[in-house]
Amino acid sequence: MERPTPPFTSPVNTSEQKCNAVVEWLQWYAENQHRPLLYDQRRCFSPDVILEAGMHGLMGLNVPEQYGGLDLDMRSTVRICQQLGSIDLSLATLITNHNFLSLSP
């Protein structure tokens, strides 16, 4: 499977299209790059995991596009969080907490 493009570099407009692009990338990431046993053994995520998540918009799901986020609606955000939870609950918790607790005004 070819590596998907980040949603903000593709000509997608709607929340649903951006969400589909992120979910597609998450599925690719889970199959090709995610190493949960290594993260468990080290008891931490590698910095490149967080960097990669940020590059694909996961650190700003609800942030307006003018500030570098994806500006997704709540339904799309929850769908992405569900996909993250099916891959790795620790990673899902980190990203969900960042989006809902850290970025709230």
CATH number at residue 64: 1.10.540.10
Tell me, yes or no, whether 70 lies in a domain: yes
Domain that holds residue 51: 44-105
Q: pLDDT tens digits, residue range 10-22? A: 555 688 999 999 9
pLDDT at 105 over 60: no
pLDDT in tens, 40-51: 888 888 888 899
Give the chain's domain count.
1
Assess if residue 38 is contained within a domain. no
The Cα-based distances of 20 to 15, 17, 28, 30, 101 in angstroms read 9, 5, 12, 15, 24
| pLDDT of 79 over the 90 cut | yes
The answer as to whether 61 is a domain residue is yes
Name the pTM for this structure: 0.81
